[in-house]
């Protein structure tokens, strides 16, 4: 006899930016009596709406959403705090007999909710010292240092990602263990199903370009100016968000408007490729064609199908 399916206690909708995750999550929430938990790190920030493609309240179809607009732009996003709050939201939703639906493209945030992941400790003094060393030595030199201490982590972290390099070095110094040992293993915390949206690269590139143009029309520049008045430049995480970072450079005179838009498109396309690469490594994701006319039905079949859904 085939193994009976285990009902998932959480569903995740993942994939690259601009692939249609929010719409599919809403469809699934309506079909499965679900509620949505945000897993986009930049949508945690209040006021960062246009540049993060955050769904306006009027377009959420009455479906409750969690972990949107929970941080000021001056605050630093914390994976540990997110894991705590997202799992609390998951458990609250389950306690009311609803289905939690996690949606977003921040890969490590998704894994922090789904998988058995213990967040390593942090020390602000060590972090500050390493950040200052990074400012002087540069990302390439810090990446070389990481490669000496933890080759596996150096492979997983891009040489230009100074923030993650610093974090890896901080964890190594604090714990005496390789940072790669702290990365999540594919072991679900509770029974889960992941569906990913697969978009051909040329079509995704076109969607990203169109989204950036629309963001400018919708007032991304004006939104950024307002956020500057609310302390955006004092933040560590928020000012680096795609779109906002380019507008800030434009306001400083480093880029003109066309250059800012082009850089936003190119940077977002690169980001989408990194997202896809991250999620493709997880063999538990069921990939679905983003533009399929029966996408909702395919996703429901993946979630309620006869195959085992246990870790």
* Model pLDDT, residue 298: 96
Average pLDDT (7-19) is 95
3-state helix, strand, coil in the chain (%, to 5): 55, 10, 35
The answer to whether residue 145 is domain-embedded is yes
108 in a domain, yes or no?
yes
What is the rounded end-to-end Cα distance, in angstroms, of the chain? 19
Q: What is the pLDDT of residue 119?
A: 82
The model's pTM: 0.85
Q: Over the stretch 65-76, which tens digit does the pLDDT of each residue have?
A: 999 999 999 999
Residue 296, classed as helix, strand or coil, is helix
Is 95 a member of any domain?
yes
pLDDT of res. 100: 98
Task: Show which of 182, 212, 231 is a domain's final residue.
Answer: 182
Full domain range(s) for residue 72: 10-116+189-304
Which whole number is the average pLDDT over 237-246? 96
> For a pLDDT cut of 90, what percent of the chain falls above it?
82
Would you state the pLDDT for residue 181? 76
Average pLDDT, the chain: 92
Give yes or no for residue 203 having a pLDDT over 60: yes
CA distances from 60 to 160, 165, 194, 245, 308 (A): 36, 37, 21, 27, 31
CATH number of the domain bearing residue 141: 1.10.20.140
**Cα–Cα distance measured from residue 107 to residue 89, given in angstroms and rounded to the nearest whole number:** 18
Nearest of 37, 191, 181, 182 to residue 114 by alpha carbon: 191
- Classified as helix, coil or strand, 158 is coil
Q: Residue 170: CB partners within 8 Å, gap ≥ 6?
A: 122, 123, 126, 127, 130
pLDDT at residue 204, rounded to an integer: 97
In the predicted model, is pLDDT for residue 311 greater than 70?
no
Q: Would you state the pLDDT for residue 7? A: 81
Residues 283-291 have a mean pLDDT of 96
Instruction: Report how many domains make up the chain.
Output: 2
Q: Does residue 38 share a domain with residue 102? A: yes
**Structural domain includes residue 154:** yes
What pLDDT sits at residue 63?
98
Domain check: are 96 and 208 in the same one?
yes
Domain match, 138 and 111 both: no
Q: Are residues 67 and 177 in the same domain?
A: no
* Domain shared by 103 and 206, yes or no: yes
Q: What is the pLDDT of residues 138-166, one digit of tens each?
A: 999 999 999 999 998 888 788 888 988 99
289 and 153 co-located in one domain: no
Choice between 117 and 31, residue whose per-residue pLDDT is larger = 31
């Amino acid at each position: 006899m085939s193994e009976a399916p285990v009902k998932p206690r959480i569903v995740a909708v993942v994939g690259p930016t601009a692939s249609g995750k929010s719409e599919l999550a809403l469809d699934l929430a309506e079909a499965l009596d679900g509620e949505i938990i945000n897993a986009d790190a930049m949508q945690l920030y209040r006021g960062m709406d246009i540049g993060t493609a955050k769904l306006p309240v009027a377009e959420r179809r009455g479906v409750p959403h969690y972990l949107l607009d929970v941080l000021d732009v001056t605050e630093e996003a914390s994976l540990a705090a997110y894991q705590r709050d997202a799992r609390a939201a998951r458990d609250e939703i389950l306690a009311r007999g609803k289905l939690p639906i996690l949606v977003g493209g921040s890969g490590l945030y998704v894994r922090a909710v789904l998988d058995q992941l213990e967040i390593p400790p942090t020390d602000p003094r060590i972090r500050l010292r390493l950040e200052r060393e990074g400012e002087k030595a540069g990302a390439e030199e810090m990446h070389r240092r990481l490669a000496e201490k933890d080759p596996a982590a150096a492979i997983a972290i891009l040489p230009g990602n100074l923030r993650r390099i610093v974090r890896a070095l901080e964890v190594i110094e604090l714990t005496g263990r390789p940072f790669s040992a702290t990365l999540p293993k594919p072991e679900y915390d509770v029974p889960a199903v992941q569906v990913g949206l697969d978009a051909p690269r040329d079509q995704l590139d076109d969607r990203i370009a169109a989204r950036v143009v629309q963001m400018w029309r919708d007032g991304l520049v004006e939104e950024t100016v307002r956020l500057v008045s609310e302390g955006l430049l004092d933040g560590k995480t928020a000012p680096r968000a795609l779109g906002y970072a380019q507008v800030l450079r434009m306001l400083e005179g480093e880029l003109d408007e066309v250059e800012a838009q082009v850089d936003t498109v190119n940077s977002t396309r690169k980001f989408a490729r990194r997202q896809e690469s991250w999620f493709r490594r997880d063999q538990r994701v069921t990939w679905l064609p983003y533009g399929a006319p029966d996408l909702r039905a395919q996703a429901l079949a993946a979630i309620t199908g006869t195959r085992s859904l246990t870790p």
